[in-house]
Amino acid sequence: MVLDGGNRGRARRLALGDALAQHARALPDHTAVVCGAHRATYRELAGRVDRVAAVLHAAGVERGERVLWLGYNCHRLFECLLACARLGAIFSPLNWRWGTEELSSAIADAAPRVVVWQPLGVASPGEQRDAVWIRHDTEDADGYEARLAAVASSDSGARAPEDGFEHRPVLMFHTAAFGGRPSGALLPEAGLLQQAAIMGLLEEASPASTYLNCGPLFHIATMTMTLATLVAGGCNVFVPKVDAAEVCAVVAAERCTGAYVLRPTAEEIVALNRDGRFDLSSLRVRTGLAAFDAMTSAETTRWSARPGGYGQTEAGGLLTYRALGPPPIGSHGWPSPLAHVRVVDPDLRDVAPGETGEIVARSPTVMLAYWNRPELTAERQAGGWHHTRDLGRIEADGSLTFVGPMSRIVKSASENVYPAEVEACLATHPAVAEVAVIGVPDPVWTQRVKAVVVREPGADVTPDELVEHCRAHLASYKKPREVVFADALPRRDGRVDYDRLDADHGGGNYPGSVTDYPS
């Protein structure tokens, strides 16, 4: 059915460049970005993005090519994202907390045309000689600013993106290691804009908003609010990374209305600002820490009054929001208006209400694919649904409770038992300090559930009592057949080492279709 007189939907393709072009025209003198001593209006930002696009294009960046960012938060990171969107390229800010080996592996995997970098002591231009390395924090002649200065300003008008725009990735975020290496989730431009629209409406973003980008921009959480602020015509303020003293000074100086502040930072700020020398009253932020919240604005937004929800990088951010509707029964709120969220068994059948299963979703925000991982992509999007590999349950009011990462499934006869659910139940027993649940081979039932428990110091509890505790709270088939006590759980990289547990406690025979997915 060709109906549209050959326009191929161009008038419906909204891109990141549209927000920038609109504000550059309608709010040209409004401050768009602040980063240290750098300030730029929307007109200036649009001009710089034009020149960054020209610099990247001259370095060989075409549609679909990768541009990596290897540095802290900076207004130039934001410029590079917008320039890549303009070129149809894929922009990926790397995690600067990574070690040399992780970085090298991710850079080699991405095969970038350009790496925009600063010295972090973990990777350098020697790493990937095929790419053009552009250092951004220098006045050198081949640095970022010098290259920009050498480009003649081009126009800043937004172009209608090319055909296939609906399936175009613009941002790649690396997520938890799978099979020992990080995977890059490719996020679609259209989905990022829709997520930014939702977040902006809940945060009540407008040209009067000033958002402090102090959370890491290699994560979707901060980036969603960065884009929401852009879409609304607000101001994005950047600091290299979160530092309580700098956050206080910048919030006070720029009268920031929003910021990505987690509890530990809030605690540091409270200690630092006991004398009230920093005026944080512009912040419409709630952390749950009363002393911090008291320093901020009495005004809240729908988001800040009830922040949070369930999401993941591969889903392009949040799939549920606590701010939607009245206080939810579930821990993580209701499905986004642009997401269909289900809780299913391994055959993609809905589990009964209140039962635990895998959270799957359909939403324009979910990733297009993992970069270079076709098999893993096919597995995560099997059956036309995005598989989160996380466990949850739908409560009576339709809200979602996030139970934990799915990790492995234990198969007891025809029943699926999720160790995370049994662990969560056992952890509520006062005598239990730590617990891990595994499946051990069973000639009749395929597997039996076995719990390895570390008791609280001085606690006195028997295996039978813990089994009874589970029977009282879970379906009977989920209760452990065996409970053993240990002095500690084996760990690797800070996480419980389930392979070691299996080896030590006879685990095995896990259903072949679903293997280990560390979250």
Residues 285-304 that bind a second copy (CB under 8 A): 302
What phi and psi values does residue 460 have, to the nearest 5 degrees?
A: -120, 110
How far is CA 94 from each of CA 59, 87, 171, 310, rounded to the nearest angstrom? 20, 20, 11, 23
Of the pair 73, 399, the CB lying nearest a second copy is at 399
Size of the site for a second copy (CB under 8 A): 83
Of the pair 18, 434, the CB lying nearest a second copy is at 18
Residue 327 near a second copy by CB under 8 A:
no
Within 13 Å, how many C-alpha atoms sit on residue 228's CB side?
27
Select from 173-181, 379-387, 408-416, 501-509 the region that touches a second copy (CB under 8 A). 379-387
User: Least distance in Å: CB of 385 to a second copy?
Assistant: 6
3-class DSSP assignment, residue 360: strand
Residue from 398, 404, 490, 511 touching a second copy (CB under 8 A): that is 398
d(CA 61, CA 116): 13
322 neighbors 402 (Cβ within 8 angstroms): no
Residue 391 near a second copy by CB under 8 A:
no
3-state secondary structure 427-466: HCCCCEEEEEEEEEEECCCEEEEEEEEEECCCCCCCHHHH
Of the pair 19, 438, the CB lying nearest a second copy is at 19
Select from 77-85, 249-257, 392-400, 447-455 the region that touches a second copy (CB under 8 A). 392-400
Strand pairing of 169-178 and 132-135? Answer: unpaired
Burial environment of residue 7 by CB neighbours within 10 A (0 to 12, 13 to 18, 19 or more):
exposed
Residue 55 near a second copy by CB under 8 A:
no
d(CA 449, CA 141): 64
Residue 495 near a second copy by CB under 8 A:
no
User: Least distance in Å: CB of 321 to a second copy?
Assistant: 10
Residue 404 near a second copy by CB under 8 A:
no
User: Least distance in Å: CB of 518 to a second copy?
Assistant: 21
Contacts of 382 by beta carbon, 8 Å cutoff, 6+ apart: 348
Residue from 60, 119, 125, 353 touching a second copy (CB under 8 A): that is 353
Residue from 80, 185, 319, 361 touching a second copy (CB under 8 A): that is 361
Q: Which helix (H) or strand (E) holds 174?
A: strand 169-178
User: Least distance in Å: CB of 258 to a second copy?
Assistant: 14
Structure tokens at 261: 């502040």
Of the pair 197, 486, the CB lying nearest a second copy is at 197
Select from 33-41, 106-114, 375-383, 458-466 the region that touches a second copy (CB under 8 A). 375-383
Residue from 173, 218, 238, 334 touching a second copy (CB under 8 A): that is 334
**Cα torsion for 424, 425, 428, 431, to the nearest 10°?**
-110
What phi and psi values does residue 44 have, to the nearest 5 degrees?
A: -65, -40
User: Least distance in Å: CB of 517 to a second copy?
Assistant: 16
Which residue(s) pair with 360 in the sheet? 342, 387
Which residue(s) pair with 404 in the sheet? 391
3-state secondary structure 129-150: CCCEEEECCCCCCCCHHHHHHC
Of the pair 206, 462, the CB lying nearest a second copy is at 206
- Per DSSP (E only), the strands in 317-430 are 317-318, 320-321, 334-335, 340-344, 357-362, 369-370, 386-394, 400-405, 410-412, 415-417
Residue 339 near a second copy by CB under 8 A:
yes
Residue 44 near a second copy by CB under 8 A:
no
Residue 403 near a second copy by CB under 8 A:
no
User: Least distance in Å: CB of 500 to a second copy?
Assistant: 32
Residue from 46, 250, 369, 451 touching a second copy (CB under 8 A): that is 369
d(CA 230, CA 207): 9
* Subset of 223-262 contacting a second copy (CB under 8 A): 228, 231-233
Residue from 287, 312, 356, 365 touching a second copy (CB under 8 A): that is 365
User: Least distance in Å: CB of 367 to a second copy?
Assistant: 9
Of the pair 304, 336, the CB lying nearest a second copy is at 336
Q: Which amino acid is it at 4?
A: D
Q: Which amino acid is it at 468?
A: E
* Subset of 107-136 contacting a second copy (CB under 8 A): none
Structure tokens at 2: 């060709």
Select from 102-110, 273-281, 334-342, 419-427 the region that touches a second copy (CB under 8 A). 334-342
Residue 459 near a second copy by CB under 8 A:
no
Residue from 41, 194, 331, 388 touching a second copy (CB under 8 A): that is 194
3-state secondary structure 272-299: HCCCCCCCCCCCCCCCCCHHHHCCCCCC
User: Least distance in Å: CB of 95 to a second copy?
Assistant: 22
User: Least distance in Å: CB of 133 to a second copy?
Assistant: 24
Select from 132-140, 201-209, 213-221, 268-276 the region that touches a second copy (CB under 8 A). 201-209
* Subset of 205-224 contacting a second copy (CB under 8 A): 206-208
Residue from 193, 251, 259, 406 touching a second copy (CB under 8 A): that is 193
